[in-house]
Amino acid sequence: QVQLVESGGGLVQAGGSLRLSCAASGRSSTYTSAWFRQVPGKEREFVAAIRWLTGLSFYADSVKGRFTISRDNAQNTVYLQMNSLKPEDTAIYYCATGRVSTAFDRVDKYDYWGQGTQVTVSS
């Protein structure tokens, strides 16, 4: 059974930075991990994904050049470094993982989810 524990959310001013962490237990090295975000009343939205085996990463257009996803194999942890934050980045951020090889931006591709961490960006 895979378990995901997120941390690192908080309140930051526009233009600031935050780093989210997602510690995974029971994860296979062949998995893909991703970050999604959700605003109340809206669908969960893809942010970024990374393949554990190769380190290949994928990003939503809205965060390219500002966010960086990375993984630490020894710590079994995936990170999301968020720079140049904007008020529209405010959301609950969720970590997800699963045996995903295509369509990394689809919510239904991921089997395991964290509890979510709130990110609030003030203007």
Whether 60 shows a pLDDT value over 80: the answer reads yes
How does the average pLDDT of the chain come out, rounded? 94
Query: What is d(CA 91, CA 20) in angstroms, rounded to the nearest whole number?
Result: 13
Residue 30: its pLDDT value, please? 72
Whether 117 shows a pLDDT value over 90: the answer reads yes
Residue 108 CB contacts under 8 Å (≥ 6 apart), including other chains: none
Question: Per-residue pLDDT tens for 3-46?
Answer: 999 999 999 999 999 999 999 988 776 789 999 999 999 999 99
How far is the first Cα of the chain from the last one, in angstroms, to the nearest whole number?
Answer: 40
Residue 1: its pLDDT value, please? 83
For 113, the token pair is 């989810």
3-state helix, strand, coil in the chain (%, to 5): 5, 50, 45
Q: Name the pLDDT band for 87 (thresholds 50, 70, 90).
A: very high
